[in-house]
Amino acid sequence: MTESSTTQRRRWLPATNMPLWERAVRVVAGVLLAATVLSGAGLLAALGDPLRQIAAVVLALGAVDLMVSGAVGFCPVYRYVRMPWTPGPRR
C-alpha cells in the first residue's frame, strides 16, 4: 500500500499553529517590509555606513521570516508561548 504524496509531504512539515488571518497578515507585512528594504533602506545601506548595512540585513531577514512563517503557518515561538487564539492546553 502506498501513501499519497500529500500525506508524505505533511509528514516532514510542522503542524500549523497560526490562524489563517494571522498567516495572511504575516505574508503581507513581510512583502511590505521587503519592498521597503529593497527601495529605501537598500539605498541607505549602499551609502557605506556599516550600521545602516547591518540594519538593512536585519530588516531583510525579518521580512523573509515573516513571509516564510506566514506561508508555512508555523511559528516556532508559538510552540512554547501559547497565544489566546491557538488551540491546546495552557501550560
pLDDT digits (tens, 9 = 90+) for 39-84: 875 565 566 678 777 888 888 899 999 999 999 988 888 777 766 6
In a domain, 53, yes or no: yes
Number of helices followed by number of strands (H, E) in the chain = 5, 0
In a domain, 27, yes or no: yes
What pLDDT sits at residue 1? 47
In a domain, 22, yes or no: yes
Amino acid in the structure at residue 2: T
- Tens digit of pLDDT for each residue in 7-48? 555 566 667 888 899 999 999 999 999 998 888 755 655 666
What pLDDT sits at residue 19? 87
In a domain, 60, yes or no: yes
For residue 70, what are the domain limits? 18-74
What pLDDT sits at residue 84? 65
In a domain, 46, yes or no: yes
Domain count, the chain: 1
In a domain, 9, yes or no: no
In a domain, 30, yes or no: yes
What pLDDT sits at residue 68? 94
